[in-house]
Structure 1
Amino acid sequence: MYNQNPQMQQQQQQQAQQIKTIIGTDEVRQIVKCLNDKPFNENYKLVTFDELNPMELLDVLNKVLTHLDKQTFENIKSKQPDQISLEVIQFLNILSYPVPQPPNDVQFSQQLLTGDKRVIYPVLYYLLTRLEEHQKRAFLAKYLVPFMVPEDIPLDEDMKQQIEKYKDLQAEFQVSHQEFEVISQESNNPTELKKEITSLEGEKEQLINKINAFKNKNTNRPEFQALLEVTNLLRKEQEEEARLAEKIYQQKQQFEYTDQQLLASQQRLMDAKKSLSASNTAEQMLQNMRNDVKKNRELSNQRFAIEINEKKKKLEQTEKLLSEPPITQNELNHLDNQLIVLRRAVNMMEEKLSKQANPQDDKLAIYKQQAQMITRKKKKLQKNSKIQKKNNSIQKNKQQPYKKKQIKKEVKDLAILIIQMDMTDSEQMLKKLEKQKGVEGYSDALSKLNQISDQAEVANKGKEVALEEYGQLAEKYNATMAYQKKRLKRINQKFERIKRQIIKKEVNRQVAKNESKGGNGQEYGQNMNRLVL
């Protein structure tokens, strides 16, 4: 085992006042309850536990310690008493139990080995009431307790390197454990995942049933097939339109780039012609050079001003850092560990976001759509309120004609009621006559037949209108496609014309350059013009 860290001893002294060292009946009852529960599953009563002899109490303590650290306490009975007491006390120190400091620890060790209730009961109460916390602490202590080298042993370079490596491994383990805790906290409960899977499967079955019912209902209809064909054409045309828009954008970008290059090359050509002209004097050349120097100086001053401001900001930041108290090596190590943890957490979040990038898997899409619908409804309500206000103002101006119309409407409604009453009387008389003649139900059948014929006529008209609309949509998409193709062709022709102009100007410049050097510029120009054409 390892020696105790002085900082850990100080923490123990601060926590000693919060730990019960005097055990009463309530505490013993809680010890018995913890022993009877999992993972010990004992069958103690309060009386039987209180009647345990010292050796049996030591067995109970050994079971608890073995559960916390099986590697250390599994075969502890085969060791010497001094070694047993030393290992138990060191383990209690790791768990922040207030073990008495020397020279009082000798008495504590003797009472522990003899199974004294005054020592065993407080230790059991402390271990059992926070069993999960102590189990986690015991697990981490194997890897995070510092290795203390006695002061009388000199440290060579190899030993120092091994200690530094040990500290690095401890920091890496701490980071990995923190990541594990974060993942375990973020991970969903398996029962909740199962419930979500079952609900999603139920929704999937419902959707499949709805799709199958819709297919069975509409597959035999000719207008359904026409609708499918039109929607497929619409989707293809939309994809083609998006592709053409992207291509047009690229062509525009390329056109702007070539236009800028053309302007820059024209400017350079004009400057070169001015500098090489025979009428250009030395004073003009000197003035041009001065103008260039002035422009360059202004640009450099602007750039230097920006850089100076940035350097001043950095200087202020460094002065603030220097004015703060110095950071110790432990704080730096802690900050490095936190930085590693945060970077890994960021990577995990980026992976989650990349997985959730598919809009079909976005769980918030429904809520976003609802929010958009609510905003649209609000806008409609605002428009309706404005229209209502306008109507109120109009109605105030036209109140008298409206009253006349209302009276006419009431008269019409009254006439309709009278006609309906007459109709009901006539229908009753007709039914009586049907009973007398033995053809009861003839009028109802005739009215139903008329309704069915009217509905069939309306459905046929709807089909004709739908087919006309589908035809108009197809013509519209074909016209849009032809227009986009013509537009793209014009852009390509314009681009080719500009490209030829640029090449011709480059050829003329090369010809002029060859003539100035004494070469055969005309022959070179003719060859290049043939290549261009």
Structure 2
Amino acid sequence: MSEQLKFIVEQLNKEPFKKNFNLITFDSLEPLQLLQVLNDVLAEIDPKQDMDIREETPEQTVKRMSSFLGIMKYKPPGSFSDVSSFRQGLVTGSKPVVHPILHWLLQKVPELKKRAYLACFLVKLEVPAEFLQDDVVNDTYHQYEELVEGFKTYHKECEHLRTSGFSAAEIKRDIVAMEEEKEQLFKRVERLKKRVESVSNHQRMLEQARLLRVEKEREESLRHQKQEQKHQLFQVEQRLVRSQQQLKDMRQAAANTNPESLMKRLEEEIKINSYMVSEKLPKELEGMRRTVQYLQKVASEPAMDQADIQELEDKIKEVNTQINQLIEKKMMKNDPIDQLVPFKQQALIITRKKESKAKELQEAREVLAAAERELKRRSGQAQGSSGEEVIREDELKHLAAKLRSKKTLYTKKHQEMAELKAEYGVLQRTEEVLRKRHEAVQEKLQSVEAEKGISGYSDTQEELEKVSAIKSELDSKKGRTLDDMSGMVKRLNSVIVEKKSALAPILKELRTLRQQWGVSVVLSCATLYSVCVLICTAEQELLGKVRKALHVLTQRTRESIVGNAPLFCGERGLMC
């Protein structure tokens, strides 16, 4: 209830009411003030409700509000479903009556505005039957109903245009664009006229151009006429072929029949057609009329919300319950000694069979007529495209035989599919039953485990079984892995042996080459060593000779040079 009051106060404080209420002030309103607030909300939905309730009597106020709420499809809460208690609550301004009305109205203000607008035109006036006996009143009432139907049509078109995306601005833009194109075309025509006027004999050329255009149009019309005549000729030929075939069939039928059988067949056809015209078709026509009346009644009423649909469903359930009760009462009261019951049942069965066969006959005739129309259309298309008939009579018979065989196969497969679907339904139901039994057994097992103090034993056992299954699978995988590894080792060993046998002659040759290379290296080293010894000996001898020469040169220089002349110092010949 607090949420309801909060919502009402929030909506009343918004546009267009602007009541500036809070929970305390709204809850403390007097009954007359509360009714005035309700009337203001009703006036926002329908301006005709805008008035001061102090200017009318309480009975008038209650009558006006009740009728308007009825048009708006308001349903009082369960505690006030009685009309008298609801009216009494409105008279006294009772909060348990007014608050739900305000809550319901404020939730659907835009929808209720539309419903109030439509109600002005769609809620029909109740005219007593005795007044309708007057011709003038009856004609006027029929005109009124036609105007209501016209309003429905125009309103639907208006809603369709509103939702279709077209707007007046777009249409105006299109008109302006077309006017501009028209001006451009006029200017282009004027330019062409000016260019033509400068040419000599332009009037004669224009006349010849006009004649050429006329002849081209005439040629085009003749071509179309020729095509139509070809098509008509083809249709006449087809009609002739069909007539000849019908004549042939009738001659064969006349040769194999006598007047008695022919009259009998005609009488049967007359009976069937009489039944169709006198019984079946009038019943269907009456049923269609009732359906149209129901649909018109539904269309004339305002839009229904979920509450209205739920109410209708409840009424349907209630009526079905009453029907079942009446049937049970009738069966209980049925006189067992009545001897006409079997005959009534047989007559009812025969009537139903007759109706079903008539329905099948009508459907077969409709299928035949549709097939003939389709054949005619296809023949016309084939003649229009190639000018020849595509399918001959023998080919058509072959196709018909093939179609019958395929139809038989289709019927068989369809029956098999139906059987499979039925079996699937049985299996599905069996699975559901077994699942429920399993759940019941599991619940019982858990209760027994809880009583024995071993709760979770079955779950643990299932887990152990799962783990053992996983372990066995891993062991099998491990065994397969070891086998694979042993096979790989064997393959590698065989490869190694093959490589060793292939490398053995190469290694033997390598050893021989290595030995030869070692002997040559030793000889080369000995020769090199002897050469080095000779070089070192020669070097020592040269150094000794150089030292001696330097010594002699030094002695001679000392003897010959005096004073501050530079002297050679030491054996290295450095200047001092």
- Answer whether TM exceeds 0.5 for this pair: no
State the TM bucket, normalised to the shorter chain. 0.3 to 0.5
Which protein shows a greater Rg? 2
When the two structures are superposed, what TM-score results if normalisation uses the length of structure 1? 0.37
When the two structures are superposed, what TM-score results if normalisation uses the length of structure 2? 0.34
Determine which structure has greater relative contact order: mean sequence separation of CA pairs < 8 Å that are 6+ residues apart, divided by chain length: 1
